[in-house]
Chains A and B, each alone.
Chain A
Amino acid sequence: MQKKEFSSHISNQLNRNLEELFNHILEMGGMVENQLDMALSALGNSDIKIAKEVVRFDKSINQAEMEIDRLCIRVLARQQPTASDLRLILATIRIAIDLERMGDEICKLAKLVIKFHKNEPCVCANYAGYAELVDITTRSREMLKTTLNAFARVSAEDAMSILDQEEVVDNVYAKACKDVTEQFKKNPENVECLLEVMTALRASERLSDHALNIMESIIYLVQGKDVRNMDQERLTKFLEKL
């Protein structure tokens, strides 16, 4: 699908609604990106003020998701779109869900900063797995940006790079898990803090998964092909064809 403008329909209303939907999802994406940026800076500087703002910001993301749902329902009920338009609606709903989940995961990251600050004013950077946490979060941030740009350009060309990044993230995550487990054995007195790090690590790893999900939705939108259940080999082949 090469869709640059929503002006191919006789119904002006449908054009307008679809475009509005398209812009809304990207605006919501921008909010999540912003939240992730804030969370990253909170993590980096152990800044509790920004961390609290991140948690507060989640509400407006949830509202944005509801707004997108409402728009989707309206288009479905009134205009009964077909083909690529229907795919756009389906992809939009899925992407909105993924974005909202990302918002929740980002909140978990921010809560780590808040909890560490409450327990004892220690620098979180001293804990095992912390460097990996920041690394994974930064990579997820890049992945999110790439996917949203791909959505804005309605092209799935960058899907491969996302896949590569996801692999790197998985490796880093595995290494971080190993480190944290070792620390569990060595310093049993730090269990609470290490558990928090573990939760945050999982959250940041989920972030990259959601970014990948969004990319899958985009491929579905552009190519009309569902790649969710493809195994690695078939997926790579399919993407190389793009």
Chain B
Amino acid sequence: MSSTPLSRAISRELTWVALSLGVFLFVAWLTGLWVFSLLAYLLFYLIRQIWSLYQFDAWFRDVPNATAPQSGFWQELCAIISHKQRALEKRADLQNNKSEQFHAASMALPIAIISLTKHHKIEWFNDAAQTLLSIQRSDTGRKLETLVRQPEFIRYLKQKEIDKPLFLEGFMGQSRTYRCEIFDYHHGHRLLMIEDVHELYNLAKIRKDFVANASHELRTPLTVVNGYLEMMIDMSDQIPQLWEKPLGQMHHQSLRMQAIIEDLLTLSRIESDTLMNTTKVIQVSEMLKNIEIDIRYLYDEKYEIDFSIEEGLSLKGVEEPLKSVFTNLISNAFRYTPKGGRVSIRWYSDSTGAHFEVEDTGIGVPNEFLSRLTERFYRVDTARSRESGGTGLGLAIVKHVLDKHESELKIQSQVGKGSIFRCDFHID
């Protein structure tokens, strides 16, 4: 190994000591004053070290015109220190540059961002926040709620645990919709983000209204078409045989369309909350027993059906939508399970809450499609689903109803083996 700076310094110092000691010893030998020479040498060495220390101190404190000590190991020591210091300075520069860049980026964001302390005192904010909330740089350190006084906002700010964003219609005297969200970050600090979502909000509203209105308007003409078709099928003896099959298909398709429209209407009713405003305690075990009777009547010969229902386990919620959740999940299981398969339905409770579970030995869903299953009209296999007569809205309804019940749909599935659909409910 080549010598390290320190070992170099030591060898340098030792060389110096050996040389100077040699000179003194020579002088002592010449004069014969051994003890005196040795003392003089020690004194000389001491003075030299103290002088170097003094020089080092001046250099280290950046006194102008001070130079680093040149003698012995002091020189090496100074070289090491200045090298290290340069590296540190470079790193600090880099960090500084990075944090400045970060600062500039947060300033340029179009979303209003404000950093707050635990007690909602303003720490820093970006330009968007400055314009939106009309706060000034001098407001740093003030409590945010003294400047943004909307009662709804203050209530949101004072919440201990914030889990969902707040939508404010009309904020700071502007009639637009804003989305506020607070995140905890970095040891008790809080980050408040306010975003203008007026366009998005309006768009969602328009979409909802459109779906509701359109389905409603479509229902009436379809009922008429359907009625006449039924009449024509009933009078099949008066109709040429050529038309029998087309009429049957027309009837089948119009029924399908009707089912889709009914589901769309249910969905938009759930979304607009008209269905969901009266919650009460529901005897789920009773409800499931009634469903069981229907299911056994329909499928008992073709499938192995297993119902296990915990007696008396009830739930707080809304009856009609919840029933549609259960029937949707159960009929899905039968729809995607080949004849002779097994479907088991469980309603049980444990320490985490109440659970409704449907397990089948059906065709299963490939993993990559699981997250998209609850989208409207989403089909894994388009051709097969149409055949089996689904509307494509069942799971969307399930998802929305469960959302309103603060529950979630969990899906486990293996292609070819079967799937498990489970809803977890909280019980108080």
Listed in ascending order, the chain A residues whose CB lies under 8 Å from chain B are 4-5, 22-23, 26-27, 29-31, 33-34, 37, 41, 141, 145, 148-149, 152-153
Whole-angstrom CA separation of A5 from B143 in the bound complex: 10
Tell me if A27 and B154 are in contact (CB < 8 A): yes
Nearest-CB residue, chain A, relative to B139: A153
| Chain A minimum-CB-distance residue to B148 | A30
The smallest beta-carbon distance between A3 and chain B, in angstroms, is: 11
Is the beta-carbon distance between A141 and B173 smaller than 8 angstroms?
Answer: yes
- Complex Cα distance, B145 from A176, in Å, reads 37
Q: Are B145 and A26 in contact (CB under 8 A)?
A: yes
| A-facing residues in B269-287 (Cβ within 8 Å) | none
Which residues does chain B contribute within 8 Å of A152, judged by CB atoms? 142, 146-147
**Are B142 and A30 neighbours in the complex by a CB distance under 8 Å?**
no
Chain A residues whose C-beta falls within 8 Å of the C-beta of B138 in the assembled complex: 153
Closest to B143 in A: A23
**Which of chain B's residues has its CB closest to A22's CB?**
B146
**Chief secondary structure at chain A's binding surface:** helix
Which of A31, A149, A152, A153 lies at the interface centre, i.e. has the most chain B CB atoms within 10 A of its CB? A152
Alpha-carbon distance between A149 and B133 when the two chains are bound, in angstroms = 11
Would you give the 0/1 interface string for B352-395, flagging 1 where the beta carbon is closer than 8 Å to chain A?
A: 00000000000000000000000000000000000000000000
Chain B residues within 8 Å of A, Cβ to Cβ = 134, 138-139, 141-143, 145-147, 149-152, 154, 170, 173, 175
Contacts of B141 in A (CB 8 A): 4-5
B154 contacts which chain A residues (CB < 8 A)?
A: 27, 30
A-B contact pairs, 8 of them (CB 8 A): A23-B146, A30-B154, A31-B151, A34-B152, A145-B173, A148-B149, A152-B142, A152-B146
Question: Could you list 11 further interchain pairs (A-B, Cβ under 8 angstroms) beyond the known A145-B173, A153-B138?
Answer: A4-B142, A23-B143, A27-B145, A29-B149, A30-B149, A30-B151, A31-B149, A34-B150, A34-B151, A41-B175, A152-B146
> What are the residues of chain B within 8 A of A34 when measuring CB–CB?
149-152
Give, as a whole number of angstroms, the nearest-CB distance from A144 to chain B.
10
Chain A positions within 8 Å of B139 at CB level: 153
**C-alpha gap A148/B145 in the complex (Å):** 12
Q: Which residues of chain B are within 8 angstroms of A31 by Cβ–Cβ distance?
A: 149, 151
Contacting residues, chain A, for B145 (C-beta < 8 A): 23, 26-27, 30
Contact present for B147 and A27 (CB under 8 Å): no
**In the complex, A145→B171 CA distance in Å?**
13
Chain B residues with CB under 8 Å of A27's CB are 145, 149, 151, 154
- Complex Cα spacing A29 to B150, Å: 9
**Which residues does chain A contribute within 8 Å of B142, judged by CB atoms?**
4, 152-153
In the bound assembly, the distance between CA atoms of A152 and B145 in angstroms comes to 9
Measured CA separation A84–B43 after assembly (Å): 69
- Asked if B149 and A26 make an inter-chain contact with CB atoms under 8 angstroms apart, the answer reads yes
CA distance A4 to B140 in the complex (A): 10
Q: Which residues of chain B are within 8 angstroms of A26 by Cβ–Cβ distance?
A: 145-146, 149
Q: Which residue of B lies closest to A29 (CB)?
A: B149
**Whole-angstrom distance between the Cβ of A18 and the nearest chain B Cβ:** 13
B residues less than 8 Å from A22 (CB atoms): 146
Q: Roughly how many angstroms separate A45 CA and B27 CA in the complex, as a whole number? A: 112
